């Protein structure tokens, strides 16, 4: 399960944030993608939660010419996202 959007200051050193930003660095929260915190070392669980929270947005974005998700995530995180996305899609 993902963490609350409000992370207590004492927990911040132990979590990372999965967030989609546009090319200008502006966050797409509040209309498009929901961000998700995850514990360090638990990237796959965080990615799965990110997919749950943003399934419609991801379906509309991952195969487009300009992929804002691919631009926002670092290469490793994006590869894990694609692996989890296609694994979940193949189960349906």
| pLDDT digits 0-9 by tens, 24-67 | 544 444 348 999 999 999 999 999 999 999 999 999 888 888 88
% residues pLDDT > 90 (the chain):
50
The pLDDT value recorded for residue 27 is: 47
Q: Which long-range contacts (CB under 8 A, 24 or more apart) does 38-43 make?
A: 38/2, 38/3, 39/3, 39/14, 39/15, 40/14, 40/15, 40/16, 43/16, 43/77, 43/80
Q: What local confidence, expressed as pLDDT, does residue 11 receive?
A: 79
Domain boundaries, the chain: 9-91
pTM attached to this predicted model: 0.80
């Amino acid at each position: 399960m993902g963490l609350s959007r409000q992370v207590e200051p004492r927990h911040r050193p132990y979590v990372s944030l999965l967030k989609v930003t546009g090319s200008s660095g502006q966050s797409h929260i509040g209309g498009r993608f929901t961000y998700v915190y995850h514990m360090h070392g638990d990237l796959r669980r965080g990615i799965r939660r990110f997919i749950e929270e943003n399934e419609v947005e991801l379906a509309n974005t991952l195969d487009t010419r300009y992929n804002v998700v691919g631009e926002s995530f670092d290469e490793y995180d994006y590869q894990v996202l694609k692996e989890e996305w296609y694994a979940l899609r193949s189960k349906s």
